[in-house]
Amino acid sequence: MPDELAATYAAAWLERDPQLCRALLEQCCCPDVRFVQDSGEVVGIEALTDNIGAFQETWPADGTVTVEQTTPVQEHHGFGRGGFVWIFPGDQRGYGTDFVELRDGLMQTIVVFFDPGPPPSA
């Protein structure tokens, strides 16, 4: 289940159509989801959809943007985490880790920490 939530959540961040983005978030997030990062927080699927749209507006218009998992999703006792990397045109990369609180099988709270680079290899 956590892998499916992570895949749906990532798809929402890549979806440019606000209605489709919202529909994806409704599949993986609680209606009152709380999204927290260093620049602030938003509450609710509508606010998160708007936040995603604002982030997408900063993307270069001349290339494809992707997001990939960098670590396996881990989950226990109603909490989870997973590492990710944003890949922008010109191989620009932005790494981070999402920490998630789950409620009723959906993401209730998502806390994002940005990482300096690729995670160390084992």
Burial class (CB in 10 A: 0-12, 13-18, 19+), 12: buried
Q: What is the residue extent of each domain of the chain?
A: 2-114
Report residue 37 as tokens. 């990062």
> What per-residue confidence (pLDDT) applies to 110?
98
Ramachandran angles phi, psi of 78, nearest 5°: 85, 10
- Considering the domain 2-114, what is its CATH architecture? Roll (3.10)
Query: DSSP character for 77?
Result: T
Report residue 12 as tokens. 């929402």
Q: In the predicted model, what is the mean pLDDT of residues 59-67?
A: 88
Give CA 30 to chain center in angstroms: 14
User: Looking at the predicted structure, is the pLDDT value of residue 66 above 90?
Assistant: yes
User: Looking at the predicted structure, is the pLDDT value of residue 60 above 90?
Assistant: no
Rounded distance between C-alpha atoms, residue 81 and residue 119, angstroms: 14
| Contact partners, residue 99, CB within 8 Å, separation at least 6 | 79, 80, 81, 110, 111, 112, 113
Q: What is the mean pLDDT of the chain?
A: 93
**Pair 14, 24: CB distance under 8 Å:** no
> What per-residue confidence (pLDDT) applies to 112?
97
Which run of H or E residues covers position 52?
Answer: helix 45-56
Q: What is the pLDDT of residues 80-116, one digit of tens each?
A: 999 999 999 988 999 999 999 999 999 999 999 998 8
Counting residues of the chain whose pLDDT is more than 70, the rounded percentage is 96
> What per-residue confidence (pLDDT) applies to 49?
98
Burial class (CB in 10 A: 0-12, 13-18, 19+), 107: buried
Top-confidence residue, 62 or 84: 84
Report residue 52 as tokens. 């995603």
Global pTM value: 0.91
Q: In the predicted model, what is the mean pLDDT of residues 31-52?
A: 97
> What per-residue confidence (pLDDT) applies to 79?
97
